[in-house]
Amino acid sequence: MTKPLVAILSGAGISTDSGIPDYRGPNGLWRRDPAAEKLVTYEYYMSDPEIRRRSWQMRRQSETLKAEPNAAHLAVAELERSGVPVRVITQNVDGLHQLAGMPTRKVLELHGTARAVVCTQCHARGPMEDALARVEAGEDDPPCLECGGVLKSATVMFGERLDPVVLGEAVAITKACQIFIAVGTSLQVQPAAGLAGIAADHGARLIIVNAEPTPYDDLADEVVREPIGTALPELLRTLRDADQADG
């Protein structure tokens, strides 16, 4: 008997227990400091060296690279290890699913990763830690070591399009899965939000785990409003037990 494929779309809410604030919630970064949005907007970043210098300082102070996976990330990795086919599609750039033990090839990062840098000219990539070490050493806007071009975080900035290959894979998984869980995402940012609708249209069981209502709640088979750190592990345990009973 074929095991059902579980697709998990994760947003900022899955990482708040790890100390990473969300962007759009009541205390989100964009609400507290609208000017911060400029620091991650491609057009401003590329045209203004001062914005780049401030961006590097923001990255230096960011909690993202110091964060550890929480119970929700660990539960996702545990489900995968139990033999259930799991694919993670994440809007997050923190790399915590992989740190929790999810195989990298089974995680699609729609918005890129904050753990790497990329050159905007020659597209060379390298670890964020190395670039931040250069900033610590006094380079306020470290250029690419390969070609001297402008370096940026390997995240998708405002004004940049998502990688079409990654998005295509996410759509394919969404169409193929039997269970689609949207967790910690407001389901307001397209095209990621639209995956919930695609899953429902293709007959998947749609489960939404989020503190606030989302535009897709009416399509969901189940909506969970409990805290993610306890609700998601419980939900995934139920799926695992059902899978083992069927097996």
The Cβ of residue 57 has, within 10 Å, a number of other Cβ atoms equal to 13
Q: Residue written as tokens 């996410």?
A: 170
**Is position 111 annotated as part of the catalytic site?**
yes
Name the catalytic one among 73, 97, 111, 123: 111
The length of the chain, given as a count of residues: 247
Contact call for residues 115 and 128 (beta carbons, < 8 A)? yes
Give catalytic residue positions: 111
